[in-house]
Amino acid sequence: MENRVFVFDTTLRDGEQSPGCSMNMEEKLRLARQLESLRVDVIEAGFPISSVGDFEAVQAIARQVRSCTIAGLARCVKADIDRAWEAIRETAKPRIHVFLATSDLHLKYKLKKTREQVLEEAVSAVRHAKSLAPEVEFSCEDASRTDIEYLCKVVEAAIEAGAAIINLPDTVGYAVPDEYGAMFKEVRRRVPNIGKAMLSSHCHNDLGLAVANSIAAIQNGVRQIECTVNGIGERAGNASLEEIVMAIKTRHELLGVTTNVNNEELIKTSRLLSSLTGMVVQRNKAIVGANAFAHEAGIHQDGILKSPITYEIMTPQSVGIKHTQLILGKHSGRHALKQRYAELGYQLSDAELQSAYQLFCAIADKKKEIFDDDLEAILETGTQTTEEEYQLVNLQITSGTNLRPTATVELRRNTETFVDSATGDGPVDASCRAIERMTGLNGKLTEYSIKAVHSGHDAIGEVFMRVEFDGLLYNGRAANTDVVAGSAQAYLEALNRAVASKKRKDLQKAETVVDRSAV
């Protein structure tokens, strides 16, 4: 049996139709191009009959993406099939994907049709699709809850009518792995012409089993896996593409199959989808979550520093992340602390490390995460606080729908006062630029979030900013009912930390020079 598993991505169809995930045409095209770079085999670009927008997006993707098969979804209805074909006909590798429910439950309550009627409709739809497109896929919706004998009958007839790919979905995420795998085994055993088609799985995640079920399907002869980036999709989502791909790669010896996916593009694809839809990936999500390659526990950090394979089953680089992150928090040990100081350019003696570690533990008990500027403050001042070089005295904004946002900022440093104005892309940008003009320090904003502490118009906004100055990252936080003022305060806090850090380093250098000259 062929040991290549074909990856069928349905992010733009099953994923996009779920709440909070809709994308416009330009966004769909960007994602489709990224899916091409990821080297998925099939992109299900949409359901062309469902709306004019969907039709146009599928058509645009079909015209522009040449190296993947482009599939358009259709019910077993002539108008659907014609519309799907119209949308994909210009692509290099078109596929019409027709589906019809086969479980008695769906036949009785949804379709109100007999088994015979459904069988007939499936056959004539596949025949019609095959008269238009070179490749046809047929899906038995709710296959995992369909009577096996009837399922085999429909599968045999669909293949006979011209379907080259037979997809047997677990539409409602009800199956468990052994059961789902056994269904494919049985279909392969009972359907006489099964050798003429490729079997496909399509799993939903209602019980959190979508990836496990997909793997069970592969172990039972399935060679096409339908999945979505970040596992987005109806209700609890679809099987997650990145998890399946990395399971196949990491457990290659056990599973004995491969995909053509360029796994180093996984993070980029996941982040692009999140930024296009605003659907944030949970921190602890496998493969692409922020914590997937981060370690905080002291024992784990120590192990990772000795040899990454102690606690990492795949490298962060294999999914497109630059390096493992050792998060410094209350569970971290001396070893990780020493390592981080070394990365920041401080070589600590055992005594220095011991006293820094004591302070670190005291602060870590109060704070969730300890950042680089906290570490520097610990080292030099024995406290966690950074002195404020600049203070925000006043901020005035002019902004509007037809006005270029302008900020006038007043800062104080000791007894001096500075006032300057700047324009920007928005009021926050203008405020940061005005601050930069006065301090002469230019930062690059690498992270920015605003969280409402309560609901309502008068909610306090908690602003968090991570800003890069001279290649190092500094954090700023502020809470304010005015999010622009809060953002300016947070930016200034990060900038003050950068100034304090530079002062400490200059002082350390000067002391070294004095020491040497004394020798």
Beta carbons of 43 and 70 less than 8 angstroms apart: yes
To the nearest whole angstrom, how small is the minimum distance from the Cβ of residue 381 to Zn ion? 57
180 binds ligand KIV (CB under 6 A): no
Instruction: Specify the stretch interacting with Zn ion by CB under 5 A; choose among 12-20, 64-72, 159-167, 421-429.
Output: 12-20
Residue 110 tokens, joined: 């949804």
Among 15, 72, 94, 169, binds ligand KIV (CB under 6 A): 169
Size of the site for Zn ion (CB under 5 A): 1
Instruction: Name which of 398, 460, 471, 464 is nearest 434 in CA terms.
Output: 398
Q: Name which of residues 76 to 135 contact ligand KIV (CB under 6 A).
A: 99
Neighbouring residues of 320: CB distance < 8 A, sequence distance ≥ 6: 263, 264, 265, 266, 267, 268
What does 141 interact with, of ligand KIV, Zn ion, none (CB < 5 to 8 A by kind)? Answer: ligand KIV
Among 141, 243, 372, 376, binds ligand KIV (CB under 6 A): 141
To the nearest whole angstrom, how small is the minimum distance from the Cβ of residue 12 to Zn ion? 13
Residue placing its CB nearer to ligand KIV in the complex, 137 or 302: 137
What does 139 interact with, of Zn ion, ligand KIV, none (CB < 5 to 8 A by kind)? Answer: ligand KIV
Question: Using CA atoms, how far apart are residues 260 and 238, in angstroms rounded to an integer?
Answer: 20
Residue placing its CB nearer to Zn ion in the complex, 14 or 389: 14
To the nearest whole angstrom, how small is the minimum distance from the Cβ of residue 202 to Zn ion? 6
Residue placing its CB nearer to ligand KIV in the complex, 226 or 296: 226
Q: Which helix (H) or strand (E) holds 306?
A: helix 298-306
What does 146 interact with, of ligand KIV, Zn ion, none (CB < 5 to 8 A by kind)? Answer: none
Residue placing its CB nearer to ligand KIV in the complex, 42 or 432: 42
Query: What angle (nearest 5°) sits at the alpha carbon of residue 84, between those of residues 79 and 90?
Result: 135
Size of the site for ligand KIV (CB under 6 A): 9
Question: Using CA atoms, how far apart are residues 405 and 426, in angstroms rounded to an integer?
Answer: 5
Instruction: Name which of 328, 293, 329, 331 is nearest 312 in CA terms.
Output: 293
To the nearest whole angstrom, how small is the minimum distance from the Cβ of residue 45 to Zn ion? 15
Q: Which residue has tokens 């038995």? A: 140
To the nearest whole angstrom, how small is the minimum distance from the Cβ of residue 195 to ligand KIV? 23
Residue placing its CB nearer to Zn ion in the complex, 227 or 375: 227
- 2: phi then psi, degrees, rounded to nearest 5: -50, 135
Residue type, 188: R
What does 99 interact with, of Zn ion, ligand KIV, none (CB < 5 to 8 A by kind)? Answer: ligand KIV
Beta carbons of 197 and 172 less than 8 angstroms apart: no
141 binds Zn ion (CB under 5 A): no
Instruction: Name which of 126, 135, 184 is nearest 160 in CA terms.
Output: 126
Question: Using CA atoms, how far apart are residues 68 and 45, in angstroms rounded to an integer?
Answer: 11
Residue type, 48: P
Among 9, 14, 80, 137, binds Zn ion (CB under 5 A): 14
Among 171, 201, 230, 301, binds ligand KIV (CB under 6 A): 171
What does 466 interact with, of ligand KIV, Zn ion, none (CB < 5 to 8 A by kind)? Answer: none
Residue placing its CB nearer to ligand KIV in the complex, 8 or 491: 8
Instruction: Name which of 443, 456, 451, 455 is nearest 492 in CA terms.
Output: 443
202 binds ligand KIV (CB under 6 A): yes
Question: Using CA atoms, how far apart are residues 308 and 404, in angstroms rounded to an integer?
Answer: 51
Q: Which residue has tokens 């079997």? A: 199
What does 433 interact with, of ligand KIV, Zn ion, none (CB < 5 to 8 A by kind)? Answer: none
Instruction: Specify the stretch interacting with ligand KIV by CB under 6 A; choose among 163-171, 324-332, 389-397, 419-427.
Output: 163-171
Q: Name which of residues 478 to 517 contact ligand KIV (CB under 6 A).
A: none
To the nearest whole angstrom, how small is the minimum distance from the Cβ of residue 239 to Zn ion? 10
Residue placing its CB nearer to ligand KIV in the complex, 104 or 462: 104
Q: Taken in order 341, 346, 347, 349, is the CA torsion positive or negative?
A: negative
Binding mask 203-232 for ligand KIV (x = CB under 6 A): -x----------------------------
Q: Which residue has tokens 């005015």? A: 482
CB atoms within 10 A of CB 92: 11
- The helix/strand/coil state of 221 is coil
For residue 222, what is the DSSP state? -
Residue 497 tokens, joined: 């930390």
Beta carbons of 448 and 465 less than 8 angstroms apart: yes
Phi-psi bin for 20: left (phi > 0), alpha (psi -120 to 50), beta?
A: left
Q: Which residue has tokens 């700047």? A: 422
What does 300 interact with, of ligand KIV, Zn ion, none (CB < 5 to 8 A by kind)? Answer: none
What does 230 interact with, of Zn ion, ligand KIV, none (CB < 5 to 8 A by kind)? Answer: none
Judged by the rule CB under 5 A, the positions of this chain that interact with Zn ion are 14
Judged by the rule CB under 6 A, the positions of this chain that interact with ligand KIV are 14, 99, 139, 141, 167, 169, 171, 202, 204
